[in-house]
Each structure stands twice: as C-alpha cells, then as structure tokens.
Amino acid sequence: MSLGQHLVELRKRLMWAALALIVGMVVAFFITDWVIVLITEPLRVVAETKGQEGKVELMFDTVTSGFDLRLRMSFAIGILISAPIWMWQIWAFVMPGLTRKEVQYTIGFLAAAIPLFFAGCYVGLVIMPHIVELMATFVPEGAASFYQAAYYYDFVFKLLIVVGVAFVLPVFLVALNFAGVMSGRAILKGWRVAVIVAVVFSALATPSADVVSMLMLSGIMVVLFFAAAGVSLLFDRRRAKRDALILPPEASV
C-alpha cells in the first residue's frame, strides 16, 4: 500500500473507533447514577459512623458541575465499553505490518495485560472506601465534610488507574525480556527493590491502620513480579537452547 492508501485506511479505522467511543459514552451516560452511588458509598458509611447525616456529602459548587461530572464519567466508562471495537481497529491497522511471531507476542501481552489491569482496578475499588474512611477520621468533631464532586471523582479515578497500571508493570518486564533489553536474571536480581517498592506503594495506597489491605496489595504485586521473572527465565532458557542448535560448532569455537 502507498502512503496515501495507509492514510485512508487510518482515517477509516479512526472513524470507526470514534463512532464506537461516542456510542459507548451515550450508553455510559445512563448508568452514571449507579456509578455515583457506588463511589459515594464510603461517604454514607462515614456519615453513619460519625452520626453526621447531612454533614458528609458530595458538593456541586457550580451550575454545570453536575453535568460536567457525568460527562467526564461517561467519557471514562465509554472508553471501557467501546474498548473491544477501538482496540480491534488499532490491531487491524497494525497487524499487517507484523511478523507471525510479533503477532503471537502481541496477543499474549494483551491477553495478560488487560485482565491484570481490570484486576488492579477492582483491588483499587476495594481499598478506596478504607482510604476515605481513614481520612475522615482527621476531620475535627462537630465539623462538616463537603467533598467537591470533581475532586472526589479525580481521586477515585486516579486511584483505580494507578493500581491498575501497577498490576500491568510485570507484563512490561516480560516484554523487555522478550525484546532482549533485560535478562531474566537481571529482573530476578532486583527482587529486593521490587519488594520495597511494592510495600511502599501499598502503604501509600492503603490506610496505615488497615494492615490487611496493605499486605494483600503488596503480596499480589510481589507475586506478579516473581511470575514475570519466572517467565523471563524460562524464555531465556528456551532462547539459549535454540541458539545452541542454530549456532554451528565451528562458530561456537
């Protein structure tokens, strides 16, 4: 294909992806009420615990803030809903330029990264209420807590994204190994740093009083790291055996 044909193909793929995103946003707009109820459940728990019904609430401080919040939520949820379509459009555009082995590697990485990302988002959703409840304990007795809607949504959204990406990092380590950038031994050698990073990250992402959540999150991250190191070591062993069969005896001398 010529450059012009590639651009035409890219435009077609982008148009289908954009259309899928718009449809996903429209569908997501009608479920934002359910999402708002889900993410604000910790606020109701705090209000009941402290006996401050009506003093712990989500605050919309502008005329359009309610609509703006729903629009932002619709965009984020719409990306997830339309993910199968726009990911397929990207894949269909890139795949013809890849070798068979690169196609297999890409499918393997996506098959591992996507479930891990959503698993991380779920873990973030589980620990989020504990963080909100812990932070509420620092509010002086008798004071009211009004959370700005946009700020509260950013807090929840960023927490889910950060934990989700943290779960995907081992897949990138395996990708670096497959690309020949890092060996399995080099990845495994950094296990002490990985454990420290996992514990520190978990301590920052979870309340200090909730040791169980911290240990669960750090334990999952450490297990994923060692799994990535194990896969890399196995691949290095297979690569060494393959090179030994391909390399002629005189070359090895």
Cβ-contact 235, 187 below 8 angstroms: no
User: H-helix or E-strand containing 140?
Assistant: none
Cβ-contact 164, 118 below 8 angstroms: yes
Tally Cβ neighbours within 10 Å of residue 74.
Answer: 21
Q: Is the model's pLDDT at 53 over the cut of 70?
A: no
Distances (CA, A) of 38 to 69, 70, 128, 135, 156: 15, 14, 11, 18, 11
| Burial class (CB within 10 angstroms; exposed 0-12, middle 13-18, buried 19+) of 232 | buried
Q: Please tell me the chain's helix, strand, coil percentages from 3-state DSSP, rounded to the nearest 5.
A: 80, 5, 15
As a whole number, mean pLDDT of residues 133-153 equals 79
Separation between Cα atoms, residue 208 and residue 215, nearest integer Å: 11
Q: How confident is the model at residue 134 (pLDDT cuts 50, 70, 90)?
A: confident
Q: Three-class SS of residue 129? A: helix
pLDDT digits (tens, 9 = 90+) for 17-51: 899 989 989 998 888 888 888 888 888 877 777 65
Q: Is the model's pLDDT at 247 over the cut of 60?
A: no
In this structure, what are the phi and psi dihedrals at residue 138, rounded to the nearest 5 degrees? -85, -5
Q: Which pTM does this prediction carry? A: 0.72
Separation between Cα atoms, residue 160 and residue 157, nearest integer Å: 5
In this structure, what are the phi and psi dihedrals at residue 145, rounded to the nearest 5 degrees? -120, 110
- What pLDDT does residue 250 have? 53
Distances (CA, A) of 244 to 3, 137, 247: 41, 63, 5
Q: How confident is the model at residue 171 (pLDDT cuts 50, 70, 90)?
A: confident
Residue with tokens 């990485």: 109
**Residue ranges of the domains in the chain?**
3-252
Token pair for residue 25? Answer: 């946003």
pLDDT digits (tens, 9 = 90+) for 80-127: 888 888 888 887 777 777 677 777 777 878 788 888 888 888 888 888
